[in-house]
């Protein structure tokens, strides 16, 4: 960064000024410092723009009123051309309102010509502020790029997980499921041809255990790959509710009010997984007696809310509070342009809400 304390760096200044004596006064002020300064004067707007385009400068110092235009006109042209430099007004008394107008327009600073001895400090301060602004913009851009990459990675990770789940579900269905079915047929054959009461008793116990294994494999397959979604989002949510109530012994109610059922597959899967994870968290931590699942949509959004009457998040163990499961839900929601909100009251339960904006084609289907 050029500065007045260095004897090696050269400060390049473009001076927009139609008074040669005022230009020489400014040049004389700079000569008081040990720094190397190149001060170039222009007094016409087109020459000003052409000079800025052709050469590199560190700062622009401009009088306010020139023949045929003002410093604000020059500043506006710089904005249109996307030429970004510190811009300082060095003018006579222009009035407080014009000075405020200039600062509000984005001009770096204003210095009356009567205070010319302060110009070096003002220029240095403007350059430093400009460099900080550029650095912040670069940092913001890098952060935005990192967030985009993280979102892409999260989306890819979710897709990979779903593919792995589908592959495991197929293996369970084809290998484990096929083997269990074959065992059931063999046990049935033995039961038909066996007359020993003690043997039949053992076969009956094995049949019960086998049926439990078959049901467990079916439940695992359903959790891994929600084939029930092939029957529609409503059926999938109702299956989750029925499964949760039967396994956990907790009363779960479902309210569904959908304006349309024509949702993209990734939206349906996000809603299903969010409801599934919410019910899993409830079964582990909530200590509740009642759960409500509300799925609704209008022409713009589809929303899911899963709430309970349990202890609330704040009373959980520190390791449970705001766990990875909730963070995972929020990241999954981002992959479809949605967001997740978690609200909780100690002793009064927790509500997890998912909101997903609908694509234009879905909105048209809903309105037709």
295, exposed or middle or buried, with CB in 10 Å at 0-12, 13-18, 19+?
Answer: buried
What token pair was written down for 4?
Answer: 């007045």
Tens digit of each residue's pLDDT (9 = 90 or more) over 55-106: 999 999 999 999 999 999 999 999 999 999 999 999 887 777 888 888 888 8
CB atoms within 10 A of CB 332: 23
Specify the higher pLDDT residue, 177 or 289.
289
10-137 and 229-367, same CATH topology: no
Weakest-pLDDT range from 156-170, 182-196, 280-294: 156-170
Q: Name the nearest CA neighbour of 332 among 263, 268, 273, 282.
A: 273
pLDDT (0 to 100) of residue 318: 42
Beta-carbon contacts of 136 under 8 Å, excluding residues fewer than 6 positions away, are none
Q: Give the Å distances, CA to CA, from 212 to 208, 218, 219.
A: 6, 10, 10
Percent of the chain residues topping a pLDDT of 90: 46
Angle between helices 45-54 and 71-80 (to 10 degrees): 40
Q: pTM to 2 decimals?
A: 0.56
Q: Give the Å distances, CA to CA, from 203 to 146, 176, 184, 193.
A: 60, 20, 10, 12
**DSSP, residue by residue, 184-252:** HHHHHHHHHH---HHHHHHHHHHHHHHHHHHHHHHHHHHHHS-GGGGG-HHHHHHHHHHHHHHHH--EE
Q: Where are the domains of the chain?
A: 10-137, 229-367
Percent of the chain residues topping a pLDDT of 70: 92
| N-to-C CA span, the chain | 61
Residue ranges in the chain assigned as alpha helix (H): 20-30, 45-54, 71-80, 96-105, 119-171, 177-193, 197-224, 233-248, 265-281, 324-334, 360-367
Domain covering 10-137 assigned CATH 3.40.50.2300 in the classification: yes
Q: Tell me the β-bridge partners of 296.
A: 257, 303
Tens digit of each residue's pLDDT (9 = 90 or more) over 290-347: 999 999 999 899 999 999 999 887 644 444 444 557 788 888 898 899 999 999 888 8
Q: Is residue 125 within 8 Å of residue 112, measured between CB atoms?
A: no
Q: Is residue 304 within 8 Å of residue 351, measured between CB atoms?
A: no
Architecture of domain 229-367: 2-Layer Sandwich (3.30)
Rounded CA separation 121/118 (Å): 6
pLDDT (0 to 100) of residue 274: 94
**pLDDT tier at 34, thresholds 50, 70, 90:** low
């Amino acid at each position: 960064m050029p500065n007045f304390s260095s004897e090696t760096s050269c400060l390049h200044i473009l001076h927009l000024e139609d008074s040669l004596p005022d230009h020489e006064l400014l040049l004389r002020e700079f000569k008081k410092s040990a720094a190397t300064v190149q001060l170039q004067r222009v007094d016409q707007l087109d020459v000003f723009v052409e000079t800025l385009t052709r050469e590199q400068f560190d700062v622009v110092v401009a009088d306010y009123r020139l023949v045929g235009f003002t410093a604000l006109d020059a500043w506006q042209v710089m904005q249109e051309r996307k030429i970004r430099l510190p811009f300082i007004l060095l003018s006579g008394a222009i009035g407080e309102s014009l000075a405020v107008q200039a600062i509000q327009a984005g001009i770096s600073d204003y210095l009356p010509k009567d205070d010319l001895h302060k110009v070096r400090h003002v220029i240095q301060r403007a350059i430093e502020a400009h460099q900080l602004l550029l650095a912040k913009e670069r940092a913001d851009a890098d952060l935005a790029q990192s967030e985009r990459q993280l979102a892409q990675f999260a989306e890819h990770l979710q897709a990979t997980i779903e593919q792995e789940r589908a592959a495991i579900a197929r293996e369970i269905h084809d290998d484990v499921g096929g083997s269990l079915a074959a065992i059931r047929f063999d046990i049935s054959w033995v039961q038909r041809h066996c007359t020993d009461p003690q043997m039949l008793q053992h076969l009956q116990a094995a049949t019960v255990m086998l049926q439990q294994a078959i049901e467990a494999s079916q439940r695992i397959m359903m959790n891994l790959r929600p084939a029930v979604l092939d029957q529609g989002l409503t059926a999938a949510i109702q299956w989750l509710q029925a499964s949760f109530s039967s396994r956990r012994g907790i009363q779960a109610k479902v309210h569904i009010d959908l304006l349309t059922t024509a949702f993209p597959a990734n939206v349906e899967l996000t809603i299903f997984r969010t409801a599934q994870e919410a019910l899993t968290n409830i079964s582990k931590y909530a200590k509740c007696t009642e759960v409500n699942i509300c799925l609704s949509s209008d022409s713009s959004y589809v929303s899911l809310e899963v709430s309970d009457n349990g202890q609330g998040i704040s009373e959980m163990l520190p390791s449970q509070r705001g766990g990875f499961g909730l963070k995972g839900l929020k990241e999954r929601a981002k992959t479809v342009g949605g967001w997740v909100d978690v609200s909780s009251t100690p002793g009064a339960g927790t509500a997890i809400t998912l909101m997903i904006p609908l694509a234009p084609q879905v909105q048209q289907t809903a309105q037709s």
